Amino acid sequence: MKDSFGRNISYLRLSITDRCNLRCLYCMPTEGIEHRQHDEILRYDEMLRIVAAATTLGIRKVRVTGGEPLVRKGVIGFLQQLAALEGIEEIALTTNGILLADYAQALCDTGVKRLNISLDSLNPSTFKEITRGGDLSRVLAGIDKAEQIGMKIKLNMVAMRGVNDHELLDFAALSTDHPWSVRFIEYMPTIREQHWQQRIISGADILALLHTHYQLQPLTTDLLCGPARPYRITGAAGTIGIITPMSEHFCGSCNRIRVTSTGQAKSCLMSNEVTDLRSLLGVRQRTALIDTLKKVICGKPEHHRLGTDPDSTTPFSMASIGG
Ligand code: SAM
Ligand code: SF4
């Protein structure tokens, strides 16, 4: 259905857990986040009820995220049930890749053909530093496995000045040999870590750097590109995308809503407003659930102001919402 600014909302990002096997420095504070109690997290059947209700309003694509979605027990069975829901045309998953080598085949068998893998460094020690302890070789093994079995891969790299900006060209080079979409994302000060201003590199600066080494052809955007501005290095097998939530928001074409693992709906990642769906999950409350989701869509703000006024958003961890 259309929101009040005429945007067609067809995409739901569903976080199935707030737990994670990494603690990326831009996503969580050093001490990690306070996890919700198990009984606060929705059961899978409750999540399916929400998605089924959302399909009646035109949701066609679901992205399963977290925390780290692959750490939740039963995720494969859940994805099978999700894929069987009438109205769902596409299921995608966002993962940090740590458990991917073990899960890739099962994921592919459920019908998940598109993976977004978050990877911010190709250097084992920088990777360890960014993720506070992660093992890069496991992610690389997961990517290999997913590629072998023919899954479509997008790599998401959060570009941070002084942390991994020296690797921008190496990441871009990955798109020359592999049919991957390598996407550079502007760092967002969601947890407001100290000196966050120094971390930011704008999409324009990233692009300028890439232009110094590569001939980049702009590609036409289609709906599958989402918020990324796509390019191709001349002759490359894959593509490059620049995602600029800070310097140039893409709210005008935003087609998504979010639901957290505790059943809170959010019409905008950056909005402080949440709508509780948990109390509407009874068998006889389907109409109320659909009406509430409708209100969430209608109440979607025209745009966020993170780039111009970071304090308009209360600090939060992406792990608790799903990114
Ligand atoms: N754990 C999974 C992963 O990392 O792919 C899924 C959840 S994670 C919260 C989803 C995405 O949010 C990741 O691609 C991550 O890089 C991104 N993210 C988290 N915090 C961010 C920040 N401060 N700025 C930009 N992207 C961020
Ligand atoms: Fe975990 Fe993903 Fe957040 Fe990293 S970005 S801490 S992998 S939820």
The DSSP result for 260-281, as a single string, is: -TTSEEESSTT-S--EE-GGG-
Q: How far is the CA of 20 from the centre of ligand 2 (A)?
A: 6
pLDDT at position 225 is 53
From the CA of 131, give the closest atom in ligand 2. Answer: 4
Length of the chain: 323
The pTM of the full predicted model, rounded to 2 decimals, is: 0.95
116, 118, 244, 261: residue to mutate for ligand 1 pocket, most atoms within 8 A of CB: 118
Return the residue whose CA atom lies nearest to atom 4 of ligand 2.
24
Is the C-beta atom of 119 inside 6 A of ligand 2?
no
Is the C-beta atom of 134 inside 6 A of ligand 2?
no
pLDDT at position 222 is 63
For residue range 250-304, what is the model confidence (pLDDT) as tens digits?
788 899 999 999 999 999 988 888 999 999 999 899 999 999 999 999 999 888 7
Domain ranges of the chain: 11-321
Burial of 110 (0-12, 13-18, 19+ CB in 10 A): buried
Q: Which ligand is nearest to the CA of 310?
A: 1
Which CATH entry fits the domain spanning 11-321: 3.20.20.70, 3.90.550.10, 1.50.10.10, 3.40.50.720? Answer: 3.20.20.70
Residues of the chain with pLDDT below 50 are 223-224
Which amino acid, residue 231?
A: Y
CA dist., res. 7 & res. 297, Å (int): 10
Residues 6+ apart with CB under 8 A from 87: 52, 55, 56, 59, 60
The string over 221-254, giving b where at least 16 C-beta atoms fall within 10 Å of a residue's C-beta and e elsewhere, is: eeeebbbbbbbbbeebebbbbbbbbbeebebeeb
pLDDT at position 253 is 87
Burial of 138 (0-12, 13-18, 19+ CB in 10 A): middle
For residue range 204-239, what is the model confidence (pLDDT) as tens digits?
999 999 999 999 999 987 644 578 899 999 999 999
